[in-house]
């Protein structure tokens, strides 16, 4: 820690409050910033992430949109081309299927198609992930699908401080960012957040826990779960590290390599369908860059190759402490 960090003032916030305050700060800083989506203005958003914005910035900059996801993202593309800084919300990430042609076919490609004549400085906020007994399509973890779309940055904060630092960075980024907010984390994640301007650059993973025996690689809410696992192993004298990727695109390959070199044993946790998912991508990355540092085959703890299930089956689908512990134990038993 530098002196500067020590002197820095902090306050304890939930993730949703950190997000709300960041939106406020960015709208105050730059009058081109616009927030729009379903129920974001009058009601302040279904999770209250945009509460108070309309009161301060007015109905022109904080806008309740007709219920049409493609319209939200398609209009965002036009606004960005017209010099605004759109921060649209997709109410739940699963609803983005209804806008995927605008996201993957348009927003992600505009800079490339026009060789930077039109750029898409858009931050698309969307809650995702399980554990809160939602109806169908409200909990799906689609980050693996999104990382397969060239031209999007995929950001997955796991702490309240990172929610602020990464959202600030996203809004100021000249390219499209999908900013994924964990449903369970809105109020379930709470922590110290630096007051004043706070930026976290993309592509720099964070050690949520240091460890020498096994590394758990995770992002978003699963960092919280993995950290609990690490604490339990620490009580037994086993050192488990947790690497929080923070951003999936761009990916911090060197930190992943460093983790493999340090522990030789790696668990990757994701809430999504495992086939062709992002954990598989990390495994491929490890194979390409750190294969000879492995002491055991890496293990994935994922959802399953099923649609995201209904509430009464949800706890068996979403990775939890028990499943991650079992994976760590499997690696500890593995002999090189």
Partner 1 sequence: MLCEMIKARIASDRLWSLQRQGRIGTIAPINGQEATTVGASWALDPAHDWILPQYREPLGLGRYGPEVLHRFTAWAIGHPQGGHIPEPIRVFPPQISLATQILHAVGLAWALKMRKEPAVALTFFGDGSTSEGDFYEAGNLAGVLEVPVIFLISNNQWAISTPTSRQTAAAGFAAKAEAFGIPGVTVDGNDPLAVMEVVAAARGHALAGNGATLIEAVNYRLGAHTTADDPTRYVPPEELAAAKERDPLIVFRRQLENRGIWDRAMQADAEKAGERAIDEAWAWASNLPLQQTALFDHVFAAPTPRQRQQRDAMTEYLGGAQ
Q: Supply the minimum distance, in Å, between the C-beta of residue 129 and partner 1.
A: 24
Residue of 25, 35, 62, 80 that binds partner 1 (CB under 8 A): 80
Of 101, 138, 198, 289, the catalytic one is 138
Residue of 140, 169, 175, 271 that binds partner 1 (CB under 8 A): 175
* SS3 labels along 36-62: EECCCCCCCCCCCCCCCHHHHHCCCCE
Number of residues that bind partner 1 (CB under 8 A): 43
Q: Supply the minimum distance, in Å, between the C-beta of residue 100 and partner 1.
A: 11
**Does the annotation count 138 as an active-site position?**
yes
- Which has the closest alpha carbon to 108: 49, 67, 141, 154? 154
Q: Is 258 in the site for partner 1 (CB under 8 A)?
A: no
On whether the CB atoms of residues 183 and 15 are closer than 8 A, the answer is no
Residue 26, both tokens:
């960015």
Q: Supply the minimum distance, in Å, between the C-beta of residue 189 and partner 1.
A: 27
Residue of 28, 29, 113, 133 that binds partner 1 (CB under 8 A): 113
Sign of CA dihedral 64, 108, 33, 200: positive
Q: Is 111 in the site for partner 1 (CB under 8 A)?
A: yes
Q: Which is nearer to partner 1, 83 or 336 (CB)?
A: 83
Q: Is 153 in the site for partner 1 (CB under 8 A)?
A: yes
Q: Supply the minimum distance, in Å, between the C-beta of residue 128 and partner 1.
A: 22
The 27-46 contact track toward partner 1, x by CB under 8 A, reads -------x------------
Binding site for partner 1 (CB under 8 A): 34, 60, 65-66, 68, 70-71, 74-84, 86, 101-102, 105-106, 111-119, 150-151, 153, 174-175, 203, 249-251, 253-254
């Amino acid at each position: 820690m530098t002196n500067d960090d020590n002197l820095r003032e902090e306050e304890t916030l939930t993730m949703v409050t950190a997000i709300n305050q960041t939106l406020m700060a960015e709208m105050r800083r730059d009058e081109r910033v616009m927030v729009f989506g379903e129920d974001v203005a009058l009601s302040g958003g279904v999770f209250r992430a945009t509460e108070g914005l309309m009161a301060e910035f007015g109905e022109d900059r904080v806008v309740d949109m007709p219920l049409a996801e493609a319209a939200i993202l398609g209009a965002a593309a036009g606004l960005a081309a017209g010099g605004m800084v759109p921060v649209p919300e997709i109410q739940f990430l699963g609803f983005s299927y209804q806008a995927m042609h605008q996201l993957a076919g348009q927003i992600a490609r505009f800079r490339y198609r026009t060789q930077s004549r039109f750029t898409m400085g858009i931050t698309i906020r969307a809650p995702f992930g399980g554990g809160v007994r939602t109806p169908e399509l409200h909990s799906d973890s689609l980050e693996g699908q999104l990382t397969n779309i060239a031209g999007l940055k995929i950001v997955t904060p796991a702490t309240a401080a990172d929610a602020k630092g990464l959202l600030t960075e996203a809004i100021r980024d000249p390219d499209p960012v999908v900013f994924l907010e964990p449903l369970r984390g809105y109020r379930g994640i709470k922590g110290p957040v630096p007051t004043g301007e706070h930026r976290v650059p993309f592509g720099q993973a964070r050690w949520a826990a240091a460890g020498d025996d096994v590394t758990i690689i995770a992002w978003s809410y699963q960092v919280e779960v993995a950290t609990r696992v690490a604490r339990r192993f620490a009580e037994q004298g086993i050192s488990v590290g947790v690497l929080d990727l923070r951003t999936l695109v761009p990916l911090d390959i060197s930190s992943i390599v460093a983790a493999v070199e340090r522990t030789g044993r790696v668990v990757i946790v994701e809430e999504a369908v495992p086939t062709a998912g992002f954990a598989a991508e990390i495994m491929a990355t490890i194979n390409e860059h750190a294969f000879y540092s492995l002491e055991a085959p890496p293990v994935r703890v994922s959802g399953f190759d099923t649609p995201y299930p209904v509430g009464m089956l949800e706890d068996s689908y979403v990775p939890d402490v028990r499943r991650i512990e079992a994976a760590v134990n499997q690696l500890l038993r593995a002999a090189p």
